[in-house]
Structure 1
Amino acid sequence: MQNRKALLALGLAVLLAALLALPVHMGNGVNARLPIIGAAEKISEEYCEETLSKAAKAYVLTKVIDKTVSTLQRIEVSITPFGLGMSVAPGEMLAAVNDAIERVSTALFSVMGLMLVEKLLVGMISWVSFKIMLPLAVGLALLYCLSGRRFAWSRSAAVFLANTALICWLFFPVTALVGSYVEQAYLGEIYAEQMHEVDSSAGAINGMDEVETDMPGVVDEDADSGWFSGTMEKLESILNTVKNALHSINIESLQAKAGEILNYADNATDRLFHVFCIFVLTTIVIPLFMFFLLYKTLYLLTKNFMESSPEAKRLVYSAAADVKRIGEGKKEETASKE
């Protein structure tokens, strides 16, 4: 029995030394040479980079469409021949679509920010798991082996920390594998189709961003003689010129063109919303589901740890009571100062 305990303590001491000497660092790609850790991080990093690239492409297209629609929305056709003014703003039809595109753009930017945070956490979680939590767990297990029942709680604490470290480390690779499978099996073709439609709509809108109106020139041969110094023929000529200028601008064609742009922009907005829903599923819903599983697993581990180690339960409750007393003392001190 003593020999077995001594061998176990020796093995734990060697494992602790190996964990402390393990060249795990923070950062993306810095642990690529490590066989298992590097492979798990590579899965997570590739998934984050691919999703971030897709979200960035959708975001860029959204901003291009938003900029084009905003420019077209400000179009105002004005004619002022001989002081007679008239203005038409067909781009006002695009106001609602422009607001929808801006909301989709903001949502896609949030997805990009979420993926950047996840990519940062991927580079940190391995270091936290293998350089802090697991060595601490092995140290507690070694303490239990050397002290026996004197520190009986250290066994449960070691198991709890080891399980927590492994679950936290596996969270991102498992999430990446599940997300990649869902994308390839169910959402890949849908995403490609939606982005193709968005590209087509963006190209069509960019090809229609110039509204040209041909205005007939007005020739005033007797500008020095004033407007009302001519004959009835000149007055009739002025009226005909104004009439021709008004008829030269086909308001119906401008409205039809604005309506066509509206259809393209509305279609692009719907497609981008579908793309955003795909990102919500793969970057928010699936990670939240995995986080829920992680939370439930940690809860069960904590519950098991408390039930198997009454001494650790008393320590936790005592620490919580101390924190509560400190908080109440600070509140009373702040109230007395006021």
Structure 2
Amino acid sequence: MMTVTLSVYALARGLNGVISVAQGTEVSIEPMGVGLTLAPGQILDPLNDLIEQFSSVLLAASASLGIQQIILFLSDQAFLRIAIATLALIAAASYFLAKTSQQHTPVFLKTVLFLSILRLLIPVSVMASATVHELLASQREEAVIVLEQTQNEVETLSEQQQKKSKGWFNSLKGQLDIEAKLQQVREQADRAVKAAVYLLAEFVLLMLFIPLLTLWLLFKFTVHVYQIKF
């Protein structure tokens, strides 16, 4: 999941870069002596704004995955298993042998339960995210392909602008060619917007919503177990 997130982030930043180059390029056309200046990259403004926001979400998603990775590592350390086992033994001893005041027994039991749930909740959350991540693999790959095609289209447009702005456009035919290319890029940009929105929804769901839901469940569980009142 981390690899996919970082690869999509790299793709988004690359697309943002080529759009920025296209937006800064203008083509001067003089068909039949009439001056005309085109900035084809301007049609990509909505997509560029969306990609910038998408990149920010991907950074947050990467951070979320990194935090989960750290928690998974810490939850499997020996000291936590030893702490849970020790508290469980103390709770059992206080209950069956009555050598410890009975009023402390519920505290020990609650602590054991809390630490056990804490140790298992994050792995379960990660497994749920990974399962959904695999189920959505084909749709995600299709959306990524659309973004890659868009990047190639914009790069091609920028190259053609740079070449034709040097003197190719002296006829009405040249103007029609660039307008046809602009229409093609506009349609590709519309598909890219839909793909970016889909990817945005998927990463928000898997890397942000599910972890936040897990934290909320942990909070509610803690309040219930320790009977915390606000």
Give the TM interval when normalised to the shorter protein. 0.7 to 0.9
Higher RCO (C-alpha 8 Å, min separation 6): 2
Find out whether 1:101 has 2:48 as its counterpart. no
Query: What is residue 223 of structure 1 aligned with on the other side?
Result: none
CA contact (8 A) 1:72 1:91 kept: yes
Q: TM-score, normalised by structure 2?
A: 0.79
Query: What is residue 194 of structure 1 aligned with on the other side?
Result: 143
Query: Structure 2: which 5+ runs fail to align?
Result: none
Partner Cα separation in structure 2 for residue 111 and residue 284 of structure 1: 6
The root-mean-square deviation of aligned C-alpha atoms, in Å, is 3.3
* 1:147-201 CA-partner distances (Å, limit 9, x unpaired): 837622221111011111110110122112222333334x232222222322333
CA contact (8 A) 2:22 2:158 kept: yes
The equivalences for 1:61-210 within 5 A come to 61-78=11-28, 87-127=37-77, 129-132=80-83, 134=84, 137-138=87-88, 140-141=90-91, 144=94, 148=98, 151-185=101-135, 187-210=136-159
Query: Structure 1: which 5+ runs fail to align?
Result: 1-50, 217-244, 307-316, 318-338
* 1:245-277 CA-partner distances (Å, limit 9, x unpaired): 854794443344234223323322321220121
Q: 1:300 aligns with which of 221, 224, 230?
A: 224
- Distance of aligned partners of 1:92 and 1:178 in 2 relative to their CA distance in 1, 3 Å threshold: closer
Compare 70-79 and 98-107 and name the one that shifted more.
70-79
The equivalences for 1:262-273 within 5 A come to 262-273=186-197
Shift of 1:142: 6.9
CA contact (8 A) 2:22 2:41 kept: yes
* 1:215-254 CA-partner distances (Å, limit 9, x unpaired): 27xxxxxxxxxxxxxxxxxxxxxxxxxxxx8547944433
How high is the sequence identity, in percent, across the aligned residues? 19
Aligned length: 222
Partner Cα separation in structure 1 for residue 28 and residue 175 of structure 2: 11
Query: What is residue 210 of structure 2 aligned with on the other side?
Result: 286
Q: 2:167 aligns with which of 200, 215, 229?
A: 215
The equivalences for 1:224-303 within 5 A come to 247=171, 250-303=174-227
- Distance of aligned partners of 1:202 and 1:285 in 2 relative to their CA distance in 1, 3 Å threshold: same
- Distance of aligned partners of 1:249 and 1:87 in 2 relative to their CA distance in 1, 3 Å threshold: farther
- SS of 1:208's partner is helix
CA contact (8 A) 2:88 2:108 kept: yes
